[in-house]
Amino acid sequence: MERETDFIIIGAGAAGLAAAVYAGRADLSTLVLCEGGVSGGQALNILSLENYPGLFPAPGGAALAEAMEHQARAAGAAFESARVLEVRKEGDRFTVVSDRGTCSAGAVLLATGGEPRKLGVPGEETFAGRGVSYCAVCDGPFFRGKPVAVVGGGNSACDESLYLAALASQVTLIHRRDQFRADPAVVSRVRAHPNITIKYNRVVKEIRGDKKVSSLILGDTLSGAEETLAAEGVFIFAGFVPRSSLAPGVKTDGEGYVLTGDGMETSVPGLFCAGDVRAKPLRQIITAASDGAIAAVSAGKYLRGRKA
């Protein structure tokens, strides 16, 4: 894959796809690089987009992602399956190196999102794929009729608990605090569900099993007491680590999220950032799409200004 283009978008989640639509409509020659060749990002893990305005009844995240990709292609954006290895700026252009070759552009959008944050407890790595999961929609059906645990206190943990409650024999939601960070409406449904038990002020200290997960050791954050919870699956939603390592020298915050201006511009001229990898107060599909639209418009202005 050797090509020159106006605008390269790295990542095909909601931010990258929205940017591709806007860039294509602005007649920018646009290339979207998507690792694994599947668009959607975190949207693929969402069973029902209940909080996306204007889409009601709520579609699934995969359906929205598919529609956005079709829309971007219709606008003229090209898509390539590639794992990006490096981004570097040479003069006034960027070179993007991937496992499929290199390409260059006058502007680049980093829309790489993040990856699940690990708990870092004994047994987590050992039982990854054998009872430890970070995606209920992906792996939930394997635990039909079995007891499972969900770890976390945000929207993802609560949403996935509700999804799993329809499959598992029992769902235990483990949260290290005494209050959830999730939206009150979602929390109300979790508390009211007869198949969900909530354990507040608890942390997972160890994941145990033989060939697969069989139990968790929980620690009480107030008393320090430990207890054993029987579970054949544990679904972890402890946040995300931003995939910002590709950004060539951009400024980030203390957690590694990329700092941008209102136009999604980074500290490197011509490099823009959108979606979950960007430092911002709310990470939702709708805000990622908004970021992507703004970034594409800003990239167009940047490229036109450079040619003037």
Catalytic residue numbers read 135, 138-139
Sign of the C-alpha dihedral computed for residues 171, 172, 175 and 176 taken in this order: negative
Angstrom distance (rounded) from CA 207 to CA 235: 11
**Is 143 in contact with 171 (CB distance < 8 Å)?**
no
CA distances to 94, 239, 255, 263, 298 from 28, in Å: 16, 34, 33, 17, 12
Tokens 């024999």, residue? Answer: 169
Q: Tell me the C-alpha distance between 138 and 84, whole Å.
A: 25
3-state secondary structure of 143: helix
Q: Cα 14 vs. chain centroid, distance in angstroms?
A: 9
Whether residue 92 contacts residue 306, with contact meaning beta carbons closer than 8 Å, is answered with: yes
3-state DSSP helix/strand/coil % of the chain, to nearest 5: 30, 30, 40
Nearest to 71 by CA among 39, 97, 103: 39
Please say whether the dihedral angle defined by the alpha carbons of residues 289, 274, 77 and 298, taken in this order, is positive or negative.
positive
Q: Could you say which DSSP state residue 279 is in?
A: -
